[in-house]
Amino acid sequence: MADDKPAKLISDLKIDTDARSTLPYDQWVQGLGLPLHTGYFIEDCRTIETAPWDFLGCNAAFIQLAGMEGIVDARVTEIAPGGTVAPYRFALDEAVYVVDGQGMTTIWADGVGKKTFEWGPRSLFLIPRGSIRQFSNARGDKPARLISNTHLPVGMSLVPDPSYFFNNDYQDTQLLETSEDELYSVAKRAPGGRGASWHGNFFTDLAAWNGLVPHRQRGGGGHVVDIRFPHSEMGGHMSVFPPGTYKKAHRHGPGVFIMIPAGEGYSIMWPEGEEKVIVPWHEASMFVPPNNWFHQHFNVSVEPARYLALSPIKQMRAERNNRLLDQIEYPVEEPWVRKMYEEEIGKRGLESLMPEEVYQDPHYKWTYDENEEQGAVLDASAGRGL
Protein backbone atom coordinates (compact mmCIF):
# COMPACT_ATOMS: atom_id res chain seq x y z
CA MET A 1 0.00 0.00 0.00
CA ALA A 2 1.18 3.51 -0.78
CA ASP A 3 2.30 6.04 1.82
CA ASP A 4 -0.48 6.69 4.34
CA LYS A 5 0.23 10.43 4.51
CA PRO A 6 -2.44 12.41 2.63
CA ALA A 7 -1.25 14.32 -0.41
CA LYS A 8 -0.78 18.01 0.26
CA LEU A 9 -1.27 19.88 -2.99
CA ILE A 10 -4.70 20.32 -4.55
CA SER A 11 -4.17 23.21 -6.96
CA ASP A 12 -2.28 26.46 -7.11
CA LEU A 13 -5.32 28.06 -8.70
CA LYS A 14 -6.44 31.30 -7.08
CA ILE A 15 -10.21 31.53 -6.94
CA ASP A 16 -11.58 34.85 -8.15
CA THR A 17 -14.44 35.41 -5.71
CA ASP A 18 -15.45 38.59 -7.57
CA ALA A 19 -16.20 36.66 -10.76
CA ARG A 20 -19.95 36.67 -11.28
CA SER A 21 -20.14 34.42 -14.33
CA THR A 22 -18.34 31.39 -12.93
CA LEU A 23 -18.79 29.59 -9.62
CA PRO A 24 -15.68 28.97 -7.44
CA TYR A 25 -16.04 25.22 -7.95
CA ASP A 26 -16.11 25.67 -11.73
CA GLN A 27 -13.01 27.87 -11.66
CA TRP A 28 -11.15 25.30 -9.59
CA VAL A 29 -12.05 22.37 -11.85
CA GLN A 30 -11.17 24.30 -14.99
CA GLY A 31 -7.81 25.26 -13.47
CA LEU A 32 -6.86 21.62 -12.83
CA GLY A 33 -6.51 20.98 -16.55
CA LEU A 34 -8.19 17.56 -16.31
CA PRO A 35 -10.78 16.32 -18.81
CA LEU A 36 -14.14 17.93 -18.09
CA HIS A 37 -17.16 16.16 -19.56
CA THR A 38 -20.27 18.26 -20.12
CA GLY A 39 -23.58 18.02 -21.97
CA TYR A 40 -26.79 16.22 -21.06
CA PHE A 41 -25.50 12.67 -20.52
CA ILE A 42 -22.53 10.31 -20.48
CA GLU A 43 -23.34 7.21 -22.48
CA ASP A 44 -20.60 5.10 -20.87
CA CYS A 45 -18.61 6.24 -17.85
CA ARG A 46 -16.27 3.26 -18.35
CA THR A 47 -14.76 4.72 -21.50
CA ILE A 48 -14.67 8.53 -21.12
CA GLU A 49 -11.28 10.23 -21.25
CA THR A 50 -9.19 10.65 -18.09
CA ALA A 51 -5.74 12.15 -17.51
CA PRO A 52 -3.08 12.07 -14.77
CA TRP A 53 -3.92 13.97 -11.58
CA ASP A 54 -0.84 14.39 -9.41
CA PHE A 55 -2.93 14.93 -6.29
CA LEU A 56 -4.16 11.32 -6.26
CA GLY A 57 -1.38 9.80 -8.33
CA CYS A 58 -3.83 8.34 -10.81
CA ASN A 59 -5.91 9.26 -13.83
CA ALA A 60 -9.07 11.28 -13.18
CA ALA A 61 -11.74 13.39 -14.84
CA PHE A 62 -14.67 15.58 -13.83
CA ILE A 63 -18.27 15.48 -15.05
CA GLN A 64 -20.50 18.57 -15.04
CA LEU A 65 -23.74 17.78 -16.82
CA ALA A 66 -26.67 20.11 -17.27
CA GLY A 67 -28.68 19.81 -14.05
CA MET A 68 -25.64 19.55 -11.77
CA GLU A 69 -24.52 23.18 -11.88
CA GLY A 70 -23.69 24.59 -8.48
CA ILE A 71 -25.24 21.67 -6.60
CA VAL A 72 -23.49 18.33 -7.06
CA ASP A 73 -20.32 17.09 -8.71
CA ALA A 74 -19.09 13.86 -10.23
CA ARG A 75 -15.44 12.84 -10.30
CA VAL A 76 -13.97 9.84 -12.12
CA THR A 77 -11.11 8.08 -10.35
CA GLU A 78 -9.29 5.54 -12.52
CA ILE A 79 -6.99 3.19 -10.60
CA ALA A 80 -4.26 1.48 -12.61
CA PRO A 81 -4.01 -2.34 -12.58
CA GLY A 82 -2.71 -3.36 -9.17
CA GLY A 83 -2.46 0.30 -8.20
CA THR A 84 -3.31 2.32 -5.10
CA VAL A 85 -4.15 6.02 -5.11
CA ALA A 86 -2.81 8.53 -2.61
CA PRO A 87 -4.90 8.77 0.57
CA TYR A 88 -6.83 11.95 1.17
CA ARG A 89 -9.18 13.44 3.72
CA PHE A 90 -12.39 15.07 2.51
CA ALA A 91 -14.67 17.31 4.55
CA LEU A 92 -17.97 16.20 2.99
CA ASP A 93 -19.78 12.89 2.65
CA GLU A 94 -18.70 11.12 -0.53
CA ALA A 95 -20.96 8.59 -2.28
CA VAL A 96 -18.94 6.28 -4.53
CA TYR A 97 -20.32 4.10 -7.33
CA VAL A 98 -18.12 1.47 -8.99
CA VAL A 99 -18.59 1.56 -12.75
CA ASP A 100 -15.90 -1.04 -13.44
CA GLY A 101 -13.38 -3.28 -11.68
CA GLN A 102 -12.76 -4.88 -8.30
CA GLY A 103 -10.84 -3.39 -5.44
CA MET A 104 -10.62 -2.27 -1.84
CA THR A 105 -11.17 0.90 0.12
CA THR A 106 -9.50 1.67 3.44
CA ILE A 107 -10.81 4.44 5.67
CA TRP A 108 -9.50 5.78 8.95
CA ALA A 109 -9.16 8.87 11.13
CA ASP A 110 -6.69 10.04 13.75
CA GLY A 111 -7.09 7.74 16.72
CA VAL A 112 -9.41 5.37 14.86
CA GLY A 113 -8.13 2.14 13.37
CA LYS A 114 -8.25 1.37 9.67
CA LYS A 115 -11.25 -0.40 8.19
CA THR A 116 -10.95 -2.09 4.80
CA PHE A 117 -13.76 -3.45 2.64
CA GLU A 118 -13.90 -4.93 -0.86
CA TRP A 119 -16.05 -3.78 -3.77
CA GLY A 120 -16.88 -4.83 -7.31
CA PRO A 121 -18.82 -3.63 -10.34
CA ARG A 122 -21.99 -1.71 -9.48
CA SER A 123 -21.16 -1.45 -5.77
CA LEU A 124 -22.29 1.70 -3.98
CA PHE A 125 -20.82 2.97 -0.73
CA LEU A 126 -20.59 6.13 1.36
CA ILE A 127 -17.40 7.47 2.93
CA PRO A 128 -18.17 9.62 6.01
CA ARG A 129 -17.11 13.27 6.06
CA GLY A 130 -13.77 14.07 7.65
CA SER A 131 -12.34 10.57 7.27
CA ILE A 132 -9.22 9.62 5.31
CA ARG A 133 -9.81 7.24 2.41
CA GLN A 134 -7.59 5.27 0.04
CA PHE A 135 -8.64 3.22 -3.00
CA SER A 136 -6.81 0.17 -4.36
CA ASN A 137 -7.31 -1.93 -7.48
CA ALA A 138 -7.37 -5.66 -6.67
CA ARG A 139 -6.87 -6.72 -10.28
CA GLY A 140 -3.58 -6.66 -12.09
CA ASP A 141 -4.95 -6.89 -15.62
CA LYS A 142 -7.33 -3.93 -15.95
CA PRO A 143 -8.04 -0.50 -14.44
CA ALA A 144 -10.86 0.13 -12.00
CA ARG A 145 -13.15 3.15 -12.29
CA LEU A 146 -15.06 4.88 -9.52
CA ILE A 147 -17.54 7.76 -9.74
CA SER A 148 -17.65 10.02 -6.67
CA ASN A 149 -20.71 12.16 -5.99
CA THR A 150 -20.51 15.03 -3.46
CA HIS A 151 -21.93 18.48 -2.77
CA LEU A 152 -18.58 20.24 -3.18
CA PRO A 153 -20.05 22.93 -5.53
CA VAL A 154 -22.35 24.06 -2.72
CA GLY A 155 -19.50 23.97 -0.20
CA MET A 156 -17.13 25.99 -2.36
CA SER A 157 -19.79 28.65 -2.89
CA LEU A 158 -19.60 29.20 0.88
CA VAL A 159 -15.84 28.68 1.31
CA PRO A 160 -14.08 29.15 -2.06
CA ASP A 161 -10.92 27.33 -1.10
CA PRO A 162 -10.42 23.65 -2.06
CA SER A 163 -7.91 23.15 0.78
CA TYR A 164 -10.77 23.74 3.22
CA PHE A 165 -12.39 20.54 1.93
CA PHE A 166 -9.37 18.40 1.00
CA ASN A 167 -7.05 17.36 3.84
CA ASN A 168 -8.53 19.74 6.39
CA ASP A 169 -7.77 18.33 9.86
CA TYR A 170 -11.44 18.36 10.90
CA GLN A 171 -12.83 14.92 11.66
CA ASP A 172 -15.75 13.29 13.46
CA THR A 173 -14.43 10.03 14.84
CA GLN A 174 -17.90 8.92 15.93
CA LEU A 175 -18.79 8.34 12.30
CA LEU A 176 -16.18 5.56 12.20
CA GLU A 177 -16.46 4.29 15.76
CA THR A 178 -19.22 1.77 15.07
CA SER A 179 -19.35 -1.98 15.10
CA GLU A 180 -18.24 -3.96 12.08
CA ASP A 181 -21.89 -5.00 11.64
CA GLU A 182 -22.80 -1.36 11.03
CA LEU A 183 -19.83 -0.04 9.07
CA TYR A 184 -19.39 -1.48 5.56
CA SER A 185 -21.42 -4.56 6.15
CA VAL A 186 -24.23 -5.17 3.68
CA ALA A 187 -27.08 -2.68 4.05
CA LYS A 188 -30.18 -3.82 5.92
CA ARG A 189 -33.91 -3.35 5.58
CA ALA A 190 -35.23 -0.54 7.77
CA PRO A 191 -38.60 1.16 8.38
CA GLY A 192 -39.54 4.28 6.44
CA GLY A 193 -39.28 5.50 2.90
CA ARG A 194 -41.92 4.54 0.38
CA GLY A 195 -42.48 1.03 1.69
CA ALA A 196 -38.97 -0.35 1.24
CA SER A 197 -35.90 1.36 2.64
CA TRP A 198 -32.39 -0.07 2.78
CA HIS A 199 -30.20 1.53 5.44
CA GLY A 200 -26.41 1.27 5.39
CA ASN A 201 -23.28 2.54 3.72
CA PHE A 202 -22.41 -0.45 1.51
CA PHE A 203 -24.48 -1.99 -1.29
CA THR A 204 -22.70 -4.90 -2.91
CA ASP A 205 -24.15 -5.02 -6.46
CA LEU A 206 -27.09 -2.85 -7.46
CA ALA A 207 -27.76 -5.01 -10.52
CA ALA A 208 -28.64 -7.87 -8.17
CA TRP A 209 -30.18 -5.88 -5.32
CA ASN A 210 -33.75 -6.97 -4.60
CA GLY A 211 -36.29 -6.51 -1.81
CA LEU A 212 -38.10 -3.74 -3.67
CA VAL A 213 -41.79 -2.86 -3.48
CA PRO A 214 -44.31 -1.80 -6.14
CA HIS A 215 -44.05 1.77 -7.37
CA ARG A 216 -47.64 1.98 -8.52
CA GLN A 217 -48.00 5.69 -9.10
CA ARG A 218 -45.12 5.96 -11.58
CA GLY A 219 -46.56 3.26 -13.86
CA GLY A 220 -44.80 0.70 -15.99
CA GLY A 221 -45.29 -2.05 -13.41
CA GLY A 222 -42.13 -0.85 -11.68
CA HIS A 223 -40.62 -1.36 -8.24
CA VAL A 224 -38.56 0.90 -5.99
CA VAL A 225 -36.33 0.87 -2.92
CA ASP A 226 -35.16 3.92 -1.00
CA ILE A 227 -31.47 4.12 -0.06
CA ARG A 228 -30.52 5.77 3.21
CA PHE A 229 -26.97 6.34 4.35
CA PRO A 230 -26.40 6.57 8.13
CA HIS A 231 -25.67 10.03 9.60
CA SER A 232 -25.85 11.65 6.17
CA GLU A 233 -28.07 13.97 4.16
CA MET A 234 -27.14 11.93 1.09
CA GLY A 235 -29.37 9.14 -0.14
CA GLY A 236 -31.67 8.27 -2.98
CA HIS A 237 -33.51 5.36 -4.49
CA MET A 238 -33.27 2.63 -7.09
CA SER A 239 -36.09 1.98 -9.52
CA VAL A 240 -36.62 -1.22 -11.51
CA PHE A 241 -39.15 -1.68 -14.31
CA PRO A 242 -39.87 -4.66 -16.57
CA PRO A 243 -39.14 -5.30 -20.26
CA GLY A 244 -41.64 -3.93 -22.73
CA THR A 245 -42.68 -1.03 -20.51
CA TYR A 246 -41.97 2.62 -19.86
CA LYS A 247 -42.65 4.97 -16.99
CA LYS A 248 -44.75 8.10 -16.71
CA ALA A 249 -43.07 11.43 -17.39
CA HIS A 250 -42.42 13.47 -14.25
CA ARG A 251 -40.29 16.37 -13.04
CA HIS A 252 -38.52 17.54 -9.91
CA GLY A 253 -35.73 19.84 -8.77
CA PRO A 254 -32.07 19.83 -9.93
CA GLY A 255 -29.07 17.76 -8.91
CA VAL A 256 -30.50 14.22 -9.11
CA PHE A 257 -27.55 12.05 -10.17
CA ILE A 258 -28.78 9.04 -12.23
CA MET A 259 -26.60 6.02 -12.97
CA ILE A 260 -27.68 2.85 -14.82
CA PRO A 261 -26.68 -0.45 -13.13
CA ALA A 262 -28.50 -2.74 -15.61
CA GLY A 263 -30.70 -2.81 -18.68
CA GLU A 264 -30.85 -0.87 -21.92
CA GLY A 265 -33.18 1.92 -22.90
CA TYR A 266 -33.52 5.62 -23.32
CA SER A 267 -34.96 8.62 -21.52
CA ILE A 268 -36.59 11.72 -22.92
CA MET A 269 -36.02 15.04 -21.10
CA TRP A 270 -37.56 18.42 -21.82
CA PRO A 271 -38.54 21.75 -20.29
CA GLU A 272 -42.30 22.22 -20.50
CA GLY A 273 -43.38 23.29 -23.98
CA GLU A 274 -39.90 23.07 -25.49
CA GLU A 275 -37.73 20.68 -27.50
CA LYS A 276 -36.87 17.22 -26.24
CA VAL A 277 -33.48 15.67 -25.47
CA ILE A 278 -33.16 11.92 -26.03
CA VAL A 279 -30.73 10.12 -23.72
CA PRO A 280 -29.67 6.57 -24.78
CA TRP A 281 -28.52 4.43 -21.87
CA HIS A 282 -27.17 1.07 -20.79
CA GLU A 283 -24.98 -0.11 -17.93
CA ALA A 284 -22.64 2.71 -16.72
CA SER A 285 -24.59 5.48 -18.45
CA MET A 286 -25.17 8.65 -16.44
CA PHE A 287 -27.46 11.67 -16.74
CA VAL A 288 -28.97 14.43 -14.58
CA PRO A 289 -32.40 15.84 -15.46
CA PRO A 290 -32.12 19.65 -15.35
CA ASN A 291 -34.23 21.63 -12.91
CA ASN A 292 -37.97 21.24 -13.50
CA TRP A 293 -37.50 19.33 -16.77
CA PHE A 294 -39.92 16.51 -17.43
CA HIS A 295 -38.22 13.18 -18.03
CA GLN A 296 -39.49 9.74 -18.95
CA HIS A 297 -37.70 6.37 -18.90
CA PHE A 298 -38.13 3.56 -21.49
CA ASN A 299 -36.91 -0.06 -21.29
CA VAL A 300 -35.93 -1.57 -24.68
CA SER A 301 -34.05 -4.63 -23.36
CA VAL A 302 -35.13 -8.19 -22.56
CA GLU A 303 -34.34 -7.74 -18.87
CA PRO A 304 -35.64 -5.40 -16.18
CA ALA A 305 -34.07 -1.96 -16.42
CA ARG A 306 -32.59 -0.35 -13.30
CA TYR A 307 -31.56 3.16 -12.45
CA LEU A 308 -29.95 4.54 -9.33
CA ALA A 309 -30.95 8.10 -8.42
CA LEU A 310 -28.88 9.90 -5.79
CA SER A 311 -30.74 12.91 -4.42
CA PRO A 312 -29.41 16.38 -3.65
CA ILE A 313 -29.51 17.81 -0.14
CA LYS A 314 -32.93 18.77 1.23
CA GLN A 315 -32.57 22.48 0.50
CA MET A 316 -32.30 21.69 -3.20
CA ARG A 317 -35.35 19.44 -3.41
CA ALA A 318 -38.50 21.11 -4.63
CA GLU A 319 -41.57 19.98 -2.70
CA ARG A 320 -43.82 18.11 -5.10
CA ASN A 321 -47.38 17.90 -3.86
CA ASN A 322 -49.36 18.21 -7.10
CA ARG A 323 -49.18 15.16 -9.36
CA LEU A 324 -51.43 16.89 -11.90
CA LEU A 325 -48.65 19.43 -12.55
CA ASP A 326 -45.55 17.29 -12.08
CA GLN A 327 -46.54 13.96 -13.64
CA ILE A 328 -47.99 13.24 -17.09
CA GLU A 329 -50.48 10.37 -17.14
CA TYR A 330 -50.41 8.00 -20.12
CA PRO A 331 -53.81 9.08 -21.58
CA VAL A 332 -52.61 12.68 -21.98
CA GLU A 333 -49.04 12.12 -23.14
CA GLU A 334 -48.22 13.13 -26.70
CA PRO A 335 -49.08 10.27 -29.14
CA TRP A 336 -45.58 10.20 -30.66
CA VAL A 337 -44.17 8.99 -27.30
CA ARG A 338 -45.98 5.66 -27.58
CA LYS A 339 -45.32 5.41 -31.33
CA MET A 340 -41.59 5.98 -30.89
CA TYR A 341 -41.38 3.38 -28.12
CA GLU A 342 -43.16 0.71 -30.16
CA GLU A 343 -40.86 1.42 -33.10
CA GLU A 344 -37.72 1.22 -30.96
CA ILE A 345 -38.53 -2.13 -29.39
CA GLY A 346 -39.80 -3.41 -32.76
CA LYS A 347 -36.30 -2.86 -34.16
CA ARG A 348 -35.14 -5.40 -31.57
CA GLY A 349 -37.86 -7.94 -32.34
CA LEU A 350 -39.75 -7.13 -29.15
CA GLU A 351 -43.29 -6.05 -28.43
CA SER A 352 -44.72 -3.48 -26.06
CA LEU A 353 -46.25 -4.97 -22.92
CA MET A 354 -48.05 -1.75 -22.09
CA PRO A 355 -51.76 -2.60 -21.63
CA GLU A 356 -54.08 -0.71 -23.98
CA GLU A 357 -56.09 0.37 -20.94
CA VAL A 358 -53.28 2.58 -19.61
CA TYR A 359 -53.80 4.92 -22.56
CA GLN A 360 -57.51 5.24 -21.77
CA ASP A 361 -57.82 5.15 -17.99
CA PRO A 362 -55.70 7.57 -15.89
CA HIS A 363 -56.55 5.49 -12.81
CA TYR A 364 -55.41 2.19 -14.31
CA LYS A 365 -53.94 -0.10 -11.65
CA TRP A 366 -50.96 -2.22 -12.56
CA THR A 367 -51.12 -5.85 -11.50
CA TYR A 368 -48.62 -7.10 -8.93
CA ASP A 369 -48.27 -10.43 -7.14
CA GLU A 370 -50.76 -10.85 -4.33
CA ASN A 371 -48.01 -11.33 -1.75
CA GLU A 372 -46.25 -8.06 -2.58
CA GLU A 373 -46.36 -5.25 -0.08
CA GLN A 374 -48.53 -2.20 -0.66
CA GLY A 375 -45.54 -0.28 -1.95
CA ALA A 376 -44.58 3.21 -2.83
CA VAL A 377 -46.61 6.38 -2.98
CA LEU A 378 -45.48 9.76 -4.21
CA ASP A 379 -44.62 11.37 -0.91
CA ALA A 380 -41.95 14.07 -1.06
CA SER A 381 -41.30 13.81 2.67
CA ALA A 382 -40.61 10.08 2.49
CA GLY A 383 -39.44 9.19 -0.99
CA ARG A 384 -38.25 12.64 -2.09
CA GLY A 385 -40.94 12.76 -4.75
CA LEU A 386 -38.64 11.26 -7.39
- Across 72-90, b (16+ Cβ under 10 Å) vs e yields bbbbbbbbeeebbbbbbbb
Q: Decide which of 142 and 16 is more confident.
A: 142
At 143-170, the pLDDT tens digits run 999 999 999 999 999 999 999 999 888 8
Closest to 259 in 3D by CA, of 207, 209, 186, 199 = 207
Residue 132 has pLDDT above 90, yes or no: yes
> Identical fold at 24-175 and 188-322?
yes
* Per-residue pLDDT, 9: 45
Nearest to 144 by CA among 45, 222, 53, 226: 45
Judged against a pLDDT cut of 60, whether residue 378 lies above it is answered with no
- Per-residue pLDDT for 83 more than 60? yes
Q: For 310-360, write each residue's pLDDT tens digit.
A: 998 877 665 555 566 899 999 999 999 999 999 999 999 999 999 999 999
For residue 187, the 8-state DSSP code is P
pLDDT of residue 379: 39
CATH number of the domain located at residue range(s) 188-322 in this protein = 2.60.120.10
pLDDT at 216: 85
Percent of the chain topping pLDDT 70? 84
pLDDT of residue 381: 37
Identify the pLDDT of residue 178: 60
Interacting residues of 225 by C-beta distance below 8 A, sequence separation 6+: 193, 196, 197, 198, 209, 211, 212, 213, 237, 238
Q: How far apart are CA 367 and CA 147, in angstroms?
A: 36
The pLDDT value recorded for residue 4 is 60
pLDDT band at residue 15 under the 50/70/90 scheme: low
Domain chopping of the chain, boundaries:
24-175, 188-322
> CATH assignment of 24-175?
2.60.120.10
Q: Quick: pLDDT tens for 235-289.
A: 999 999 999 999 999 999 899 999 999 999 999 999 999 999 999 999 999 999 9
pLDDT tens per residue across span 29-50: 999 999 999 999 999 999 999 9
Report which DSSP code applies to 142. Answer: S
Range 91-104 average pLDDT: 97
Residue 384: pLDDT band (50, 70, 90) is: very low
Condensed to tens digits (0 to 9), the pLDDT of residues 190-210 reads 766 666 788 888 899 999 988
Q: Give the chain's mean pLDDT.
A: 87
Centroid of chain to Cα 340: 27
Look up the pTM and report it: 0.90
